């Protein structure tokens, strides 16, 4: 019993703590400016815009929604209609919030979250049709398949997006490795011979050439020279 009460208290206290921390961080910043969050709280803010409080409070809203969901599933477990009604309204509110404020820094992440929330809303509305006793059995069967289709669509789209992002990161990593390799080859070619180096950098003396090559500062030297 004590563990259950402790769990309920933590579920209530943690969103409140997040809310206060976000309010504390954003209270000193003006509207439209990006506020720097503490390193210890980076997990709460690293993906979100901090230019306004509604955007920064996404995590608090998310936790509050989960708290409401758990509450209605426990205390309204025999009132299925009200469960679906509240879930549908929460989904609509979150969809409006995501569409209007777009709290994530990444535009693609905002679109993904809007899509996911839209599928949640469609699913909740589809489930509501099962509560109507006057609906024909064939229509209920159709809505059941529709619910399966919506769920599969959500899973497939998210898997494709995740796979695309992973592939993009992999290609970027390989391109970076290849670019670094090509740069190393060019540097080795330039520093392989004093005559070749002299043609590339005529203002550098031979003693400096030997010093740079001996201290393995070839890459650093080339970057400093190119930035001048």
Per-residue confidence band for 32, with pLDDT thresholds at 50, 70 and 90: very low
Least confident of 10-14, 99-103, 157-161: 10-14
Distance, CA of 102 to CA of 110 (rounded, Å): 6
Which pLDDT does position 116 carry in this prediction? 94
Which pLDDT does position 155 carry in this prediction? 95
Least confident of 60-64, 198-202, 215-219: 215-219
* Cβ contacts of 73 within 8 Å, gap of 6 or more: 83
- Bigger pLDDT: 192 or 101? 101
Distance, CA of 27 to CA of 53 (rounded, Å): 8
Residue-wise burial string across 100-123, b where 16 or more C-beta atoms lie within 10 A, e elsewhere: ebbbbbeeeebebbebbbbbbbbb
Per DSSP, helices labelled H in 28-57 are: 42-45, 53-56
Using alpha carbons, select from 54, 42, 37 the residue that is nearest to residue 102. 54
Distance, CA of 14 to CA of 80 (rounded, Å): 28
> Average pLDDT of the chain?
76
pTM tops 0.75, yes or no? no
* pLDDT above 50: residue 166: yes
């Amino acid at each position: 019993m004590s563990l259950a009460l402790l769990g309920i208290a933590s579920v209530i206290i943690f969103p409140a703590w997040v809310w206060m921390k976000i309010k504390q961080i954003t209270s000193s910043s003006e509207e439209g400016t990006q506020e720097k969050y503490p390193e210890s709280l980076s997990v709460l803010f690293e993906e979100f815009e901090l230019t306004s409080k509604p955007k920064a409070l996404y995590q608090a809203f998310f936790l509050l929604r989960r708290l409401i969901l758990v509450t209605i599933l426990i205390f309204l477990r025999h009132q299925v209609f009200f469960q679906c009604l509240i879930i549908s309204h929460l989904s609509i509110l979150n969809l409006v919030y995501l569409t209007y404020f777009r709290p994530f820094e990444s535009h693609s992440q905002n679109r993904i979250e809007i899509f996911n929330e839209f599928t949640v809303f469609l699913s909740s509305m589809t489930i509501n049709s099962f509560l109507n006793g006057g609906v024909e059995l064939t229509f209920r069967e159709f809505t059941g398949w529709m619910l399966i289709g919506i769920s599969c669509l959500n899973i497939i789209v998210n898997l494709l997006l995740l796979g695309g992002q992973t592939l993009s990161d992999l290609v970027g990593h390989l391109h970076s490795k290849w670019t670094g390799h090509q740069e190393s080859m060019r540097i080795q070619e330039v520093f392989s011979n004093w005559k070749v180096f002299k043609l590339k950098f005529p203002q550098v003396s031979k003693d400096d050439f030997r010093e740079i090559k001996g201290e393995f500062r070839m890459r650093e030297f080339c970057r400093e020279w190119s930035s001048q």
